[in-house]
Amino acid sequence: MNKARYTAVIAAAAILLAFAAGCNTQSENTASQTSETASVTSSADTESSAADESSEEESEEEKPIPVVSDPTPESSGEYIEGLFLYNGTAYELFYGDEDMAKNYAETISYVKKGLGDKIKVYNLLVPTHVGVDLPDKFSEICNPQDTYIKAIFDSYDADITGVSAYDEILRHRDEYIYFNSDHHWTGRGAYYAYKALAKAAGYTPIKLEDMKSEKINGYYGSLSWTISEDLLTEDYVEYFTTDSKIDCMRYDENASNPYEFALIHDYAEGSNAYGVFLGGDQPLMVAKNPDGNGKKIAVVKESYGNAFCPFIAYTYSETHMIDFRYVEFNLKDYLEKNGIDEVIFINNTMASATSMRCDEMRNLVDSSSGAGSDDNDESVDYDDANIEDYL
């Protein structure tokens, strides 16, 4: 996509969302989060270890949310073609409202009912950058995402476990968890969402310090197509690896034609560096981990899920990564065929507030084909950055 087309898409998306919503005050309250406790362990040693881990989690929750620093208090920022520029960082404004939240909740509920009672469903909402680390003086530039997420969690009419990454992310908002020049979060930001899921699902997450951190420097992402790189702070892409020998396969939109494919593509560089995660947007990938927890899970996602999936693959014995925008098979049939009874849906708040994404998710259980729209019938390789697939 060229820069002109990207700019037009950003402007159209802002208009689409803004007509139904004004700019409300950004709330400082965090979204509520549903959690499940771990099952009884098999030995006293395991119980002791779990108790220690639980204490660490409780201690983490008690930490205050860091105050956002404001290095340029005299600056009021700048609006550039639908984006907000402040202190070298580009932000997309969020206009999701209660009606949009209810629509997404109804969509997730619809899919859950289509999958049946035997499938455990988690719904993880990821806040976008604008709702996390802007100084308080900008609290009224767009709608609060914590209120939006809570409205979703309060509107289910099916048995769904809501997982809000918002609480965990806010506790780490003084870290490098979103890019300056791209609409995605970083690998570190995705880790904190994985940690929130682990709590809700009742298992111990891999510790960040137990993984190896790698970096790809010199990154300018999708928002630099609209705002000049000269005005943005240069990014880097951080990713994490473990010693597990994970086998990974890629499939086409019909879950056919498998071939070996890497979970981490460490050759990604430059403007394509976010493609280090899964090699970019793929219809279907399956990772098998001999060191996993003995369980299978399906991660149904959009591009934010790319940075999230490796942590799941490091944890589960079998991880099925499904990009709902590009597959053309019935999700219930696929889960039954592969013996999967656990599904996590992960969407960023901005994408969840669009009817197009909701329609695509409903299509997962509507028929034997069609989760993608007519113009999304092919996978997008990591060197084809496509902002339309985000919106």
What pLDDT score was predicted for residue 143?
95
The answer, yes or no, to whether residue 374 has pLDDT greater than 50, is: no
What pLDDT score was predicted for residue 64?
82
Phi, psi torsion values for 254, nearest 5 degrees:
-100, 15
Average pLDDT over residues 338-348: 97
The answer, yes or no, to whether residue 59 has pLDDT greater than 90, is: no
> pLDDT by residue (tens digit) across 244-293?
999 999 999 999 999 999 999 999 999 999 999 999 999 999 999 999 99
> pLDDT by residue (tens digit) across 319-335?
999 999 999 999 999 99
The answer, yes or no, to whether residue 56 has pLDDT greater than 90, is: no
Where are the domains positioned within the chain?
Answer: 3-69+76-390
* Mean pLDDT (the chain, rounded): 84
What pLDDT score was predicted for residue 20?
40
Phi, psi torsion values for 76, nearest 5 degrees:
-110, 10
User: H-helix or E-strand containing 59?
Assistant: helix 44-62
What global pTM score does this model have?
Answer: 0.81
Asked whether 302 and 265 are in contact (CB, 8 A), the reply is: no
What pLDDT score was predicted for residue 62?
61
- Extract the runs of DSSP E, i.e. beta strands, from the chain: 78-80, 83-86, 89-92, 120-126, 161-164, 212-219, 235-241, 247-251, 259-260, 280-281, 284-288, 296-301, 318-323, 342-348, 380-381
Per DSSP bridges, beta strands 247-251 and 259-260 are antiparallel
Cβ neighbours of 294 (radius 10 Å):
7
pLDDT classification of 164: cutoffs 50, 70, 90: confident
What pLDDT score was predicted for residue 287?
98
What pLDDT score was predicted for residue 95?
94
What pLDDT score was predicted for residue 60?
55
The contacts of residue 28 (CB under 8 Å, 6+ apart) are none
Highest mean pLDDT range out of 44-53, 143-152, 365-374? 143-152
The answer, yes or no, to whether residue 391 has pLDDT greater than 90, is: no
What is the C-alpha to C-alpha distance for residues 285 and 278, in angstroms, rounded to an integer?
Answer: 8
> Of all residues in the chain, what percent carry a pLDDT higher than 90?
74
The contacts of residue 20 (CB under 8 Å, 6+ apart) are 95, 97, 99, 100
pLDDT classification of 211: cutoffs 50, 70, 90: very high
Least confident of 21-30, 49-58, 86-95, 318-327: 21-30
